[in-house]
Structure 1
Amino acid sequence: MFSCSHSSPYYAKKEFKPQPLTVDSTDFQQRFLLIGDAGGPLPGEPVLKQLTEWAAMAPQKTTVLFLGDNIYPAGLVRPDSSAYADRKRRIDAQLSVANSSGARGIFIPGNHDWDDSGPDGLNTLARQAEYVINALGDPQSFLPEPGCPGPAVLDIGQVRLIVLDSEWWLNKFEKGSGCLYPDTAAVLAALDKAIAGAGQRPVLIAAHHPIESEGPHGGFYTWTDHVFPLRILNKSLWIPIPVIGSLYPLGRTYVFRSNQDITGPRYKDMRKAFRRVFRRHKPLLYASGHDHSLQIFDGGKDIGYYLLSGAGTSSKITDAGHNGKTLFSYAHEGFMVVDFLKSGEILLRVVSPENPPVQFEHFMRH
């Protein structure tokens, strides 16, 4: 599939466009800031600066969820590596959001944090977890336990947060031993129990890989990807290769199916398994990253909403389209804000370093 990417915000309905609305820090009980794929920040990264400002509005009531791919290109290398200083800089830029604002920070692993799905993934992940926990002084600041699938369950105020390591399902190399839930059946049973046991609490599930996406990992490509395929590797390579250029996007979608794409065999199995559990209880939302854009989907019979907030690095933004379930789509850097208001309402917003900053606004169903 190919179409035009949404370099301007796409709204399924006019009412999703931001209205003059002020939410004071006294109006909400809990705030969650959702940002993914922030592992390649430029010096003074504008997204992280803005994220810090939003976290600082009410730090005692704010949790910042970093949704994986926290260190590009392949996680935290050994301290004796020549690349260590640069990799450390990348995670330090994100850690400073929590440390500067006073908000709680929770880091979730993505495929790049597992040695870019490589053979040293388990060790690479363990180094990052230890570094994050030491920096923030909170043993629950890196979830789940490195190398384990989760679910890790935290009740934060009136909200139940469930964290999964989706790369555990996709990675073919060594995984953690001694995990509380050692296989897929145990993971799914625990996930089912965690959602069912939430009672009246709204349930927020967080992982790196999306269930829905209209980005490259979801099979979306623009006409420029077919005519100028080298731009997938380097945005400046405007070299036309018509017809032959279509081989990469078509091959990736239909032939050489990567397990990092929704069409990949392991990814398909994980997606189906999660959706079966969601349908039994219909939690509020599933938040993810992976594709480098901002997308919101109606969850249909599965869940209230699927959120894709993977636009944490301004230099890595990728194309984003839409489908019949899309409520919002934007190929731009930014993050998402979920405010649980004292009135019982739940407000979802999309924020980007623009003027005005709020690009989407919606009171969520629960």
Structure 2
Amino acid sequence: MAVSLSFLLYATVAAAVLSALWLLLRYWQERQYRRRPYVAPVRNDWLLHQPDAAKAPQHRVALLGDPGAVATDGTDPILQLLASWQQETGPAGTVVILGDNVYPVGLPAADSAGRPAAEKRLNTLLEVLRNFPGRVVFLSGNHDWNKGRADGYAYLLRQEAYIAEQLPTALYLPPGGVPGPVTVQLDDDILLVVLNTQWWVQNGARPASDSKEPFRQLEQLLNANRHQRVLVAGHHPLYSNALHGGKFTAKQHVFPLTTVYKRAYLPLPLVGSLLPLYRKVVGAAEDMAHPRYRKMRRRLLRVLHQFPNIIYAAGHDHNLQYFHRYGGHYLVSGAGSKTAFVQKGGNATFVHEHKGFFSIDFYENGEAWLRTLEPNTDQNTPEVFRQRLLPGPVVAPPVVTTSLINESVSGA
């Protein structure tokens, strides 16, 4: 018995030492790249490639996600950058707000104590968009649905009505909280498709719909528009090297409560690793690992993987990420007002833990270029990444007649 106890003690100590060494190594590695732009080695030559400067874009799309915590005193760097983008772009442009438009819980009821602060944040964003001569499209995210709680549908409808009243020219899509898809023709051969991804992960009331039917409609829609350049927008990412994709920092293993509140430095070594493990394997309601999110993601990717050169844009994770997977382009542009850890490498071509947003420039020759826009006081600082997404004239590939709705898709 004594031998068994001694072995158990030594094994526990050894496990603790190995865990501590692993965490120290992880922490050291993270310190080498945290908040620095990462570009995959195969794209290290990105600075050598750029669109023809002599040609103006046919249409530009700004993809701004998670702006719900912008500064309301006129000093917000993202809103200043967005205003500059709007002035440069003019009417041949579209601003897509990718959800989580008001933190922390969307737009509360008129008699709620949190209503004035929420209105102030939302009004600050609307004011920047008010004089833009192009198109403005709003999506909803989990925070706009009261963080996915059972009464979130009422929050969604309230915010949609408020934006319609304050900025009547803006589109809030899909309307009424339905899952979609809905389309907006941005230009002659440029189509925006909007999905309400929160519908699939939402608790409580929501508009009735067959959960599989939107994917069938999306497949039919994309098949019918193979001659166009298509941008699909939803709040939830389909690939991510960040929190909702199950990626955590070494600090979060030791201080797991900081994932909820950044100043909650209560050390819980070893035990603290259970939370990252849970969110990676089981998942909170807004994580890729959660059963509802996982099912939605799997079905959506089964459709999108059929269509080469599809562009899918999302927010949700508070950073900038670009993935080129199965011939498609997958963006995370959720750094509109907050930033959070994003792991380099893996399947990512580019990641950066920094405030900013992506812009896509569509050209008449069929090209589409991704630009990374970040606020910086040093005007001589070059952009941190750009990428040609579409190479030239759109050529319709052979029509796929067999639905892939029931085939499998690999994970993130």
Same structural fold, with TM-score higher than 0.5 when normalized by the shorter chain: yes
* Aligned counterpart in structure 2 of residue 329 of structure 1, from 345, 348, 351: 351
- Which amino acid in 2 is paired with 1:332? H
Q: Following the alignment from structure 1 to structure 2, what is the Cα–Cα distance between the partners of residues 52 and 306?
A: 25
* Aligned counterpart in structure 2 of residue 261 of structure 1, from 287, 295, 298: 287
Q: Tell me the secondary structure at the aligned position of residue 85 of structure 1.
A: helix
With CA pairs under 8 Å and 6+ residues apart, which has the higher RCO, 1 or 2? 1
Specify the alignment match of 1:36 in structure 2.
65
Provide closer, same or farther for how the CA distance between residues 68 and 23 of structure 1 changes in structure 2, counting only shifts above 3 A.
farther
Specify the alignment match of 1:174 in structure 2.
205
Q: Following the alignment from structure 2 to structure 1, what is the Cα–Cα distance between the partners of residues 52 and 118?
A: 38
Mapped pair 1:183 → 2:213: no
Specify the alignment match of 1:252 in structure 2.
279
Equivalence map 1:13-28=2 (5 Å)? 13-17=43-47, 23=53, 27-28=56-57
- Which amino acid in 2 is paired with 1:149? P
Could you tell me whether the CA contact under 8 Å between 1:106 and 1:143 is conserved in 2?
A: yes
Could you tell me whether the CA contact under 8 Å between 1:18 and 1:358 is conserved in 2?
A: no
* Aligned counterpart in structure 2 of residue 309 of structure 1, from 317, 320, 333: 333
- Which amino acid in 1 is paired with 2:140? P
- Which amino acid in 2 is paired with 1:265? P
Q: Following the alignment from structure 1 to structure 2, what is the Cα–Cα distance between the partners of residues 311 and 252?
A: 21
Equivalence map 1:21-170=2 (5 Å)? 23=53, 27-43=56-72, 44-138=75-169, 141-157=171-187, 158-170=189-201
The Cα of 1:330 is off from its aligned counterpart by 0.5
Provide closer, same or farther for how the CA distance between residues 19 and 278 of structure 1 changes in structure 2, counting only shifts above 3 A.
closer
- Which amino acid in 2 is paired with 1:10? Y
Deviates more, 1:144-153 or 1:224-233: 224-233
Q: Tell me the secondary structure at the aligned position of residue 112 of structure 2.
A: coil
TM (norm. structure 1) is 0.91
Percent identity over the alignment is 34
- Which amino acid in 1 is paired with 2:215? L
Q: Tell me the secondary structure at the aligned position of residue 177 of structure 2.
A: coil
* Aligned counterpart in structure 1 of residue 247 of structure 2, from 216, 220, 237: 220
The Cα of 1:146 is off from its aligned counterpart by 2.2
* Aligned counterpart in structure 2 of residue 363 of structure 1, from 384, 388, 395: 388
Q: Following the alignment from structure 1 to structure 2, what is the Cα–Cα distance between the partners of residues 159 and 121?
A: 33
Q: Tell me the secondary structure at the aligned position of residue 71 of structure 1.
A: coil
Specify the alignment match of 1:293 in structure 2.
319
Q: Tell me the secondary structure at the aligned position of residue 221 of structure 1.
A: coil
Count of aligned pairs: 355
Could you tell me whether the CA contact under 8 Å between 2:51 and 2:369 is conserved in 1?
A: no
Q: Which has the larger radius of gyration?
A: 2
Q: Following the alignment from structure 2 to structure 1, what is the Cα–Cα distance between the partners of residues 343 and 383?
A: 20
RMSD: 2.1
Specify the alignment match of 2:395 in structure 1.
none
Q: Following the alignment from structure 1 to structure 2, what is the Cα–Cα distance between the partners of residues 146 and 23?
A: 42
Q: Point out where structure 1 has 5 or more consecutive residues left out of the alignment.
A: none
Provide closer, same or farther for how the CA distance between residues 127 and 283 of structure 1 changes in structure 2, counting only shifts above 3 A.
farther
Q: Following the alignment from structure 1 to structure 2, what is the Cα–Cα distance between the partners of residues 326 and 107?
A: 27
TM (norm. structure 2) is 0.81
Q: Following the alignment from structure 1 to structure 2, what is the Cα–Cα distance between the partners of residues 325 and 154?
A: 30
Q: Following the alignment from structure 2 to structure 1, what is the Cα–Cα distance between the partners of residues 152 and 60?
A: 32
- Which amino acid in 2 is paired with 1:324? G
Q: Following the alignment from structure 1 to structure 2, what is the Cα–Cα distance between the partners of residues 36 and 10?
A: 20
Could you tell me whether the CA contact under 8 Å between 2:66 and 2:98 is conserved in 1?
A: yes
Specify the alignment match of 1:278 in structure 2.
304
- Which amino acid in 2 is paired with 1:58? T
Q: Point out where structure 2 has 5 or more consecutive residues left out of the alignment.
A: 1-22, 392-412
Q: Following the alignment from structure 2 to structure 1, what is the Cα–Cα distance between the partners of residues 322 and 231?
A: 14
